[in-house]
A and B are shown apart, each in its own frame.
With several copies, the nearest count.
Chain A
């Protein structure tokens, strides 16, 4: 039986991946960030997570504006590591689970009536590849099977925060109807505050980031009604991708056990991580 065990929210800032590849984890600038992931990874391992559904966005690695899906979900055995312009990172090809992916597709499209784009070929981007190796073993190979779920947060119109929340609920319904054993972590990625264009480039907002982290844990439904413009105004235009965390949070019980949280705001982006245990999973 499928079961949602954990929800994780995580930034996916590319520079984290560069620092990781350069083994800068212990450097003074990066130690606060990487230390924040250690308890998360240890706890997920303890919980014996077998599958990760990762709600992330591609940034022009696989998708372009010629054909821009609102939601695109992977259904493949393997997902190659993409080249975003600086070469291919030295990570093993991401491992999928065909049977699990198609089960999710049948439920999320066929029962919950989401209009997913189903990808049997899908190339991975930093949106997924930054958090994944910080949360799961990957040497010599991945310790988790992954379902990538891309969200358009680049080209407006974007999906509404409410739609992401509903997607989370559809994910829960789909996981819980999976007949095989699967201990699932749902991971929402992106943010926190940052703006990468215009003369507002570099805008960050630690107060909003901390408020957001509080709300995602304790009162997530309040986030549903915040329009895109307000996210952009508070956190910077590109921080609107934080709505992807609602896809994760909507998949969990209303109440959760707060496992871990950490925040660091070095240069361009507020970097946050939160780990929550599902109440049904913790009661079992």
Chain B
């Protein structure tokens, strides 16, 4: 039982979204959640840093968002993949790209592992 997460993270490559992680990532996830609104997507697209600052994100969070480092945001930042995926609605990244990055693969490498590589990638 991990003291930090209050949950056994025993499944390799898996970071269970516990309450502790949710608490840690609350600002980050709130920023991403906000992108479900069209006017917020526009504001983020226009001036990413200014928009992220309205959510009080840390320098580390802003950097990882700009670098599209979903792996770090999930593993260290308490990001929920269900919220982070909304960032892609602005940056153009699909779920498969975010997945490939988390696996340490290129999108092409990842797609080659799939039964049927679908066009719709969320």
Contact = CB atoms under 8 A, between A and B. Distances in A.
Interface string A69-86: 000000110000011111
A64 B14 contact: no
B2 interface: no
Nearest to B13: A200
A125 B82 CA distance: 12
A140 interface: no
A267 B116 CA distance: 5
A105 B14 CA distance: 22
Interface in A166-211: 195-202
Contact of A155 (B15, B17, B114, B122): B17
Nearest to B111: A267
A195 B96 CA distance: 11
Contact of B18 (A156, A199, A238): A156
Contacts of B16: 156, 232, 237
B8 A229 contact: yes
Contacts of A155: 17-19, 22, 80
A268 interface: yes
A201 B36 contact: no
Interface residues of A, number: 51
A254 interface: no
Given A65-B29, A102-B20, A84 B113 contact: no
B55 interface: no
A197 B11 contact: no
Interface string A19-39: 100101000011000000000
Main secondary structure of the interface of A (DSSP, over half): loop
A75 B18 CA distance: 12
Contact of B86 (A85, A118, A201, A265): A85
Nearest to A204: B115
A233 interface: yes
B12 A120 contact: no
B75 to A, nearest CB: 7
Contacts of A14: 122
B19 A60 contact: no
B104 A199 contact: yes
A92 interface: no
A59 B119 contact: no
Interface in A238-283: 238, 265-268
Interface in B3-51: 6-8, 10-20, 22-23, 26, 29-30, 32-33, 35-38, 41
B37 to A, nearest CB: 7
Contacts of B14: 195, 197-198, 200, 232, 237
Nearest to B16: A156
B99 A66 contact: no
A65 B80 contact: yes
Given A18-B120, A268-B95, A198 B102 contact: yes
A59 B35 CA distance: 13
A268 B95 CA distance: 10
Interface of B: 6-8, 10-20, 22-23, 26, 29-30, 32-33, 35-38, 41, 71, 74-75, 80-83, 85-86, 88-89, 95-96, 98-100, 102-104, 110, 113-122
22 contacts: A19-B120, A24-B120, A60-B82, A64-B29, A64-B33, A65-B30, A85-B35, A85-B88, A98-B23, A102-B18, A102-B19, A102-B20, A196-B81, A196-B85, A196-B95, A197-B14, A197-B15, A197-B102, A229-B10, A237-B11, A266-B114, A267-B117
Given A60-B33, A267-B117, 6 more contacts: A22-B120, A102-B19, A103-B6, A199-B102, A201-B99, A266-B118
